[in-house]
Structure 1
């Protein structure tokens, strides 16, 4: 399945679907009208059905679902930069991403200082060479890489990209102008895709930012994040992944959640 010329690629992010078999996520996304998905392959805090892990049978089922639907994989997540992250774990995730045709592998700096993170990320970039997979560092305010500026200073020397998430940008005190400045300095290739959702202007509980990120977001257009401004500074053909686990939709079926997600992002893009 190819994206129509002039239309953004829309991906369904896996964060809201970790209770679902990955092959089923692919089919749900296809039925809803998405072009691609993101998939979990490592880094889960606790065991979940949505993690491909080391399950070869799950991987085979995902490959069949991708072939049957024509969907693509936007990214495979997540490599967490910690002192215990091994070369073998990096190799496994990168090889799996390449096997599934993923274009990116998502990286989060959980524990390393900036110099160590750049070095470790550079080695991940080296491992990705020739695979068609590009590492993308995601700044998150509750990580060791909290801002766009911190991500740029780590990723650029390592040869990696930066992933922009609308919620994390806002909660870190960043603005779309910060993204625009980074793109102007380092080029459009710095940010190969973005994650979108919505949220209130102020966090519901600033002391618990991770809880909001993993389960209290809003669908695009339902909150007060400056999505229009963010979209205006991003390239018009930049792929967007809808990552919006919400309390409102938590009890609805995966199909209903996916349908609501694509309606919401299409509505926002129609105003873009």
Structure 2
């Protein structure tokens, strides 16, 4: 399978879906990963495609004109007080746009509740031929590989999968050995980035790096090659927010550089390319 790349929302945060799509196409990406589900964060723009018909029309036009596809939409969180049914309008639009996956994460400390709600999200997504990829996040309730696999095993949904974010994998201190044991069918895409190797002990610094301080692939301290060579070849969604570089270069050039550096890294370090070079 040829390597394919998507531009993730956090890399160009606050960029509307149509503009993000054109930007991704000009930079050389194969997909876009959109965030039409509003999270209610301070100063977060509302890019709901289900409620904004003009935005939806312009997004459809951008996808049609560029030929790009939507890899996934985010973020269908499991959290106390959130009814999974509120995600249905965006799931319906995602299916209309040809999206493949829904990204989810868990922010409730109630395990039984989390399993039940995650299962509901999967059932809802299945009606629209979408898979649900569960991501663990260092600052969330489910924050490591073992606990994520526990939820997936308990939910027992055939359209549920595991989404590894390379930054989060490193921060959770998960191991390549454990990753290698995960059933290959659970992987459908990966969040690709790098970050400083030292794990912050300060919560605010951890959040800062997650939101705006990640590194170009190959320029941080994470064993990115170890991760990508332990899982099947899947699309790589570049989620690499770096405010300093984005402010310096502008979003489009920053997005292009993220992709160029990722491809350069893969050429030297991915298992598939190493095998080709040995022939």
Q: Secondary structure at the match of 1:24?
A: helix
In structure 1, which of residues 11, 15, 29 is the aligned counterpart of residue 6 of structure 2?
A: 11
2-side partners of 1:210 and 1:108: how far apart?
16
Aligned to 2:175: 175
Aligned-residue offset at 1:50:
6.9
Aligned to 1:92: 89
Aligned-residue offset at 1:47:
4.2
Aligned-residue offset at 1:204:
4.6
Aligned-residue offset at 1:263:
0.5
Q: Confirm whether residue 224 of structure 1 aligns to residue 221 of structure 2.
A: yes
Task: Rate the CA distance shift 1:38–1:268 in 2: closer, same or farther, 3 A.
Answer: same
Aligned to 1:71: 68
TM-score relative to the length of structure 1: 0.91
TM-score relative to the length of structure 2: 0.89
Q: Is the 8 A contact 2:84 2:117 kept in 1?
A: no
In structure 1, which of residues 133, 136, 159 is the aligned counterpart of residue 133 of structure 2?
A: 136
2-side partners of 1:17 and 1:49: how far apart?
13
Q: Is the 8 A contact 1:18 1:50 kept in 2?
A: no
2-side partners of 1:86 and 1:137: how far apart?
17
Q: Confirm whether residue 25 of structure 1 aligns to residue 20 of structure 2.
A: yes
1-side partners of 2:186 and 2:253: how far apart?
34
Q: Secondary structure at the match of 1:249?
A: helix
Q: Confirm whether residue 191 of structure 1 aligns to residue 193 of structure 2.
A: no
Aligned to 1:115: 112
In structure 2, which of residues 51, 54, 69 is the aligned counterpart of residue 57 of structure 1?
A: 54
Q: Secondary structure at the match of 2:245?
A: coil
Q: Deviations over 1:200-225 (max 9, x none)?
A: 11135532222211111011111110
Q: Is the 8 A contact 1:22 1:49 kept in 2?
A: no
Aligned to 2:164: 164
Aligned-residue offset at 1:112:
4.1
2-side partners of 1:37 and 1:110: how far apart?
25
1-side partners of 2:61 and 2:46: how far apart?
16
Q: Is the 8 A contact 1:140 1:168 kept in 2?
A: yes
Task: Rate the CA distance shift 1:164–1:35 in 2: closer, same or farther, 3 A.
Answer: same
Aligned-residue offset at 1:18:
2.4
In structure 1, which of residues 244, 249, 254 is the aligned counterpart of residue 245 of structure 2?
A: 249
Q: Confirm whether residue 34 of structure 1 aligns to residue 10 of structure 2.
A: no
Q: Secondary structure at the match of 1:150?
A: helix
1-side partners of 2:200 and 2:243: how far apart?
13
Q: Secondary structure at the match of 1:201?
A: coil
Gaps of 5+ in 2: 271-279
RMSD: 1.6
Q: Is the 8 A contact 1:40 1:50 kept in 2?
A: no
Instruction: Report which stretch shifted further, 248-257 or 100-109.
Output: 248-257
Q: Secondary structure at the match of 1:145?
A: coil
Q: Secondary structure at the match of 1:235?
A: coil
Aligned-residue offset at 1:177:
2.1
What does 1:43-54 correspond to in 2, within 5 Å? 43-44=38-39, 45-49=41-45, 51-52=47-48, 54=51
